[in-house]
Amino acid sequence: MKIAVLVSGGVDSSVALRLLHEQGHQLEAFYLKIWLEDELAYLGDCPWEEDLAYAQAVCDAINVPLHVIPLQKEYWQQVVSYTIAEVRAGRTPSPDLLCNQRIKFGAFLEHIDDSFEKIATGHYAQKAVIDGKTVLLKAKDPIKDQTYFLSYLSQVQLDRLLFPIGCYLKSEVRELADRFDIPNKQRPDSQGICFLGKIKFSDFVAHHLGKQQGDIIEYETGTKLGMHDGFWFHTIGQRKGLRLGGGPWFVIKKDPARNIVYISRQYHSEDKVRDQFDVESLHWINGSEPKKHDLSAKIRHGEHTYSCTIEPFGINRAHVKLDGSDQGLAPGQFAVFYNGDQCLGCGVISEER
């Protein structure tokens, strides 16, 4: 097949490229430039130049052409502006889900033609065809599984994708990198939000929202215990960074209107159990609500899932009940739903109860 391969300069996408090359496909590689140079250059070195150098070296080793696609404008309009707006509203955004849906498998498609039968990436995920429809399945490696970040895709997008490393453990991908002797085989995995690189998210937030001192108040007593630089620097469930003695203290609530952060030492007491929430903007990959309402859910990227029940109401909304308490539930987060290993779709947490 003729395949467009998205490469990042990391080990995972490089191994995906080499596997497809070994299988004899006709390949062209693409590097999506989303780094906001003018916006963030003062905060640190531009990581995209090092990433691109590695991507170029990997492609040159097997004579695969590499194209650089500038998508900074689209990324700002469709991902970064959303992130800033969510933080300003006191919510917890998940920009990487939108990056996949709107940029990598959205805006990028406008830069390639239909001669590319498939688009391949280094995501840890798998696909299968069930009852005539392509479904998204968890990766072999439960810790590296990235279906959480792919849950906002449409059926049309999923049909065109390939995940060459989804059937491997991360350790096996590293072994393949050694066997292929790729130039970046020893490169560590990247961490954090894709457009920030090594820059701290708090520095990015400070650049856009500034600092504004507000009160830190103990939830149970109403006692003021300290000051913070802005509620937007704090997330529900946060333990570090409060700079207070007598803890451990946890952030349990924010009041954006009054710029107050509420904290507690009794974070796991019965009156603070978080096991129910509502979701809005429900999105099902195959376009229809699942018949089964006893599912499982991930509240964030990672191995852990909860058994849950989902009760739809209204338009693209539902009430979710978990089989356990998650003290990090926060409006704005995505809840991603599964039936066994199949990722069904997602919804945005609008209210925790």
Active site (catalytic) residues? 99, 194
Identity of the residue numbered 123? H
Residue 149's nearest CA partner among 264, 13, 298 is 298
| Cα maximum dimension of the chain | 67
Q: Do residues 264 and 219 touch, judged by C-beta distance below 8 A?
A: yes
Residue 16's nearest CA partner among 45, 55, 52, 63 is 55
Residues making up the chain, counted from first to last = 353
How many whole angstroms separate alpha carbon 272 and alpha carbon 292?
Answer: 29
Q: Do residues 29 and 67 touch, judged by C-beta distance below 8 A?
A: yes
How many whole angstroms separate alpha carbon 37 and alpha carbon 303?
Answer: 34
State yes or no: cis peptide before 248, omega within 30 of 0: yes
DSSP string, 108-127: GGGGS-TT--EEE---S-EE
Pairing of strands 161-162, 118-120: parallel
